[in-house]
Each structure stands twice: as C-alpha cells, then as structure tokens.
Amino acid sequence: MAAILEAQDLRMTFYDPNRADVLALDGMSLAVEEGEFLAIVGPSGCGKSTLLRLLAGLLRPISGRVTYRGQPLTAPQREIGYVFQRSNLMPWRTVQANIRLPLEIAHAPQAETDARARSFISLVGLDGFADSYPAQLSGGMQQRVALARALIHEPAVLLLDEPFGSLDALTRERMNAELLRIWNLRRPTVVMVTHSISEAVFLADRVVVLTARPGRARAEFRIPLLRPRDLALTAEPAFVQLTRAVRSEIVD
C-alpha cells in the first residue's frame, strides 16, 4: 500500500529563553499508508504533538521534510483535517454553525453548506442539538462537534491530537467506539496521538512508539485484531498481550 503522508529524518528544535534550546525530534521518520489508522504513543514530552503539527504543515522542521502524496508539505492543506485535544469551538456559534465553518471559509454554496452540516450532525450522533451552543454540551459532545467540523470537507487525512484526553474514562471509551464507527463509514487515513496504550491498540491498524525526547521511532506494532471491533475486545487475551508488548517499549 502506498504512503500518502511521509516524514523523512525530521529534526525540530524549540527556542527556550531560559535555557538551552529544546530538541523535540531528531531523526524522526514515518510513512503513513493510505487508508490506515495509525496511532503514535510514547513517554510524555517525546514530541508526539510536535510530530503531528509537522505532518499537518502547521510547523516547518529545522531539517528533514514532510511529503503528502509525494510532494513537499510546507503549509496546511485542505485535504488534511486536524482535531486538537480541546475542541476549540467558537462559543458564539451553534453546533451547526461550528460544523459548517470550513465550508463557509471555502465559500461553498449556502444550500450545500447547510445540507452537509445536517448530514454530519447525524453522522456524529448529535441529532436534536443543531441549535445548541458549546456551553450547553458535555465534553464528549463538544469533541463530536470538533470531529464533524474536521470531517465536513471530507479530508483524505485526519490528524487527531489526543482528542479524548480530557474526557472521563467511560466517555472516552464511548468516543473510541464512536470514532471507529465513523472511520468505518468514511475510511480516511487517520494518524492519532494518544497517551493511552489501550486506546491505541483498540483503534489502530499500526502503533508506532517514540523514544523519550528527542523523539524518534523506537518500535512499531502491526495490530492483527479483526475489524469491526467493539469494546468487548479489550478483555480478550490477544488484546491484553498487545498492550503489554507496546507498553514494554515505552521508556522514559
């Protein structure tokens, strides 16, 4: 399967006025296959979110390069969607207005914008909440809105930066199942950063483990668990063995 998104020998440093510059990534290489669900895990501060921002074109590396469909990626692309850990919804806009924002920016026709927003409200299970405001929603519902907003222009690649990290354990499990349902329907290429090993194994086709800072790929695991998956899978011996194997490669 061809790589749709590729990082080649990335090096990324951040300026720190109080001490020596921080080297976040050094020699980081990664190839993302088209249509796969890839999860990235590693110790805190290893550069996972930095890597995701480089893959999105939101940052430029000090050296190395990122390519999308074989072409250098130097700026954000419409075909690459991004969901942050916090929903970053506009509080003065309703659910429907938040979701349709990318189409408004693209100057899509009003009728198409409204129709697609309604469709994606249903896709993420928010029927009946189109006219609600973010403050009226739970954290999980806000992340559903953020997911719908990222998907409404049907990106080829969806980048997820710890999107459920702030949710309670039960809501997080439900959102994992919901994300898989949506992914099975749309099948974009997904790259997800997470601190949860069980979440990574449950969702992904492949899990990449980064070293401690400066981050680089340390290990890779193909996840041979059959799809579709449900939460009962997390009690299966094969699932437990995989999570243990991934955890054994995470070194602070």
For residues 176-200, average pLDDT = 93
Alpha helices in the chain (DSSP H): 48-56, 95-99, 101-105, 110-123, 139-151, 169-186, 197-203, 237-248
Residue 37 located in a structural domain? yes
Is 118 within a domain?
no
- CATH number of the domain at 239, please: 3.40.50.300
Residue 243 lies in a domain: yes
- Greatest Cα pair distance, the chain, in angstroms, is 54
What percent of the chain is predicted at pLDDT more than 70? 98
Q: Is 189 left (phi over 0), alpha (psi -120 to 50) or beta?
A: beta
Does 146 fall in a domain? no
Task: Convert the pLDDT of each residue in 220-229 to its tens digit.
Answer: 999 999 999 9
Binned at pLDDT 50, 70 and 90, residue 48 comes out as very high
**Would 31 be classed as within a structural domain?**
yes
Q: Does 128 fall in a domain?
A: no
- Say which residues have a Cβ less than 8 Å from residue 189's Cβ, sequence separation at least 6: 4, 5, 32, 33, 34, 35, 36, 37, 38, 156, 157, 158
152: pLDDT strictly greater than 70: yes
The overall average pLDDT reported for the chain is 93
Tell me how many domains the chain contains. 1
Cβ contacts of 224 within 8 Å, gap of 6 or more: none
pTM of the complete model? 0.93
The pLDDT tens digits for 58-100 are 999 999 999 999 999 999 998 999 998 888 899 999 999 999 9
Q: Residue 84 has what pLDDT?
A: 87
| Residue 2 or 21, more confident | 21
Q: Could you tell me which of 43, 28, 36, 73 has the C-alpha nearest to residue 55?
A: 73
| pLDDT confidence of residue 252 | 73
Assess if residue 231 is contained within a domain: yes
Establish if 132 belongs to a structural domain.
no
Structural domain including 35 reads 3-79+155-248
